[in-house]
Amino acid sequence: MLQVEELKMHFPLFGGVLQRQLGVHKAVDGVSFSLNQGETLGLVGESGCGKSTTGRCVLRLLQPTSGTILFDGRKELLQTDRRRLQMIFQDPLSSLNPRKTVLENLGEGLVFHKMAKDPTSLVEEVLEQVGLSKEALYRYPHQFSGGQQQRLCIGRAIALKPDLIVCDEPVSALDVSVQAQILNLLQSLKEQLQLSYLFISHDLSVVRHLCDRVLVMKEGRIVEEGKTEKIFESPAHPYTKSLLAAIPPTYPVR
């Protein structure tokens, strides 16, 4: 469904009194991978290694320096592809419009993509799918808890009947007790709606639980790739080993 070849995203670095370009920062430097339909592909690596940048390029929120990104074999996104590709961000509150009600926040995409003239009943359905009641319709984002705000963002994404959702650290801003609920919601929606996920996270235990395959990224490149069990049971690259060694044990070690 998604094919990324030799993706590079180099940001110019400016500095000095004249703010001249001093060089480039190679945030993503030759990344290739593919994502099959129905798959949850994990993208892991330390902070700053280029995970979010990769996700933004896939969604065309950033124009890559070079490389190709094919969605269903197409380089250019069609209007329907924009609907079929959605994103869920780390910070739910800042990705919702604070001045708009839940109905407006979740409904505007539906109207834009001509899926409904009056989106009210579709938004109600979606709220139910993400575990919120329809009393939420006329409330504003700040009136919800962090976990509920993330449910709203998930609702806004699934309302458009997407095929691929890029989840960029969807639970890392949430309280630990809420993280599991949101992950379970993502997992069950995936099965119900036959979604594919590109799942960006630095939390390896989450990735192990959710992903079919994992890409390990370091300094803008992919250093290891494989089935989740294989990566966790027998990591080949020293960097993957060091990442795994840093996971705190979730059970008492004897």
Ligand X SMILES: Nc1ncnc2c1ncn2[C@@H]1O[C@H](COP(=O)(O)OP(=O)(O)OP(=O)(O)O)[C@@H](O)[C@H]1O
Positions in the binding site for Mg ion (CB under 5 A): 52
CA distance 49 to 11: 13
Choose among ligand X, Mg ion, none what residue 235 binds, the Cβ cut-off being 5 to 8 Å by kind.
Answer: none
CA distance 222 to 43: 9
Least distance CB 53 / ligand X (angstroms): 3
Phi, psi of 246 (to 5 degrees): -85, -5
Least distance CB 220 / Mg ion (angstroms): 13
Nearest-CA neighbor of 84 among 103, 71, 95? 71
CA distance 47 to 115: 38
Among 7, 40, 42, 50, contact with ligand X (rule: CB under 6 A)? 50
Among 7, 39, 42, 52, contact with ligand X (rule: CB under 6 A)? 52
Least distance CB 9 / ligand X (angstroms): 8
Whichever of 42 and 119 has its CB closer to Mg ion, that residue is: 42
Least distance CB 33 / ligand X (angstroms): 15
Choose among Mg ion, ligand X, none what residue 183 binds, the Cβ cut-off being 5 to 8 Å by kind.
Answer: none
51 binds ligand X (CB under 6 A): yes
Angle at 129 between CA 124 and CA 132, to 5 degrees: 65
Whichever of 29 and 39 has its CB closer to ligand X, that residue is: 29
Instruction: Tell me which stretch binds ligand X (CB under 6 A): 41-49, 91-99, 175-183, 236-244.
Output: 41-49
Choose among ligand X, Mg ion, none what residue 50 binds, the Cβ cut-off being 5 to 8 Å by kind.
Answer: ligand X
Q: Is the dihedral of CA 96, 98, 103, 107 positive or negative?
A: negative
Instruction: Tell me which stretch binds ligand X (CB under 6 A): 44-52, 110-118, 125-133, 236-244.
Output: 44-52
Those residues whose C-beta lies under 8 Å from the C-beta of residue 77, and which sit 6 or more positions away, are: 60, 71, 85
Among 1, 8, 10, 25, contact with ligand X (rule: CB under 6 A)? 25
Q: Where are the beta strands (DSSP E) in the chain?
A: 2-15, 20-35, 40-44, 66-71, 85-88, 164-168, 196-200, 213-218, 221-227
Angle at 239 between CA 238 and CA 245, to 5 degrees: 90
Footprint of ligand X on 199-218 (CB under 6 A): 202
The footprint of ligand X (CB under 6 A) covers 11, 25, 27, 45, 47-53, 202
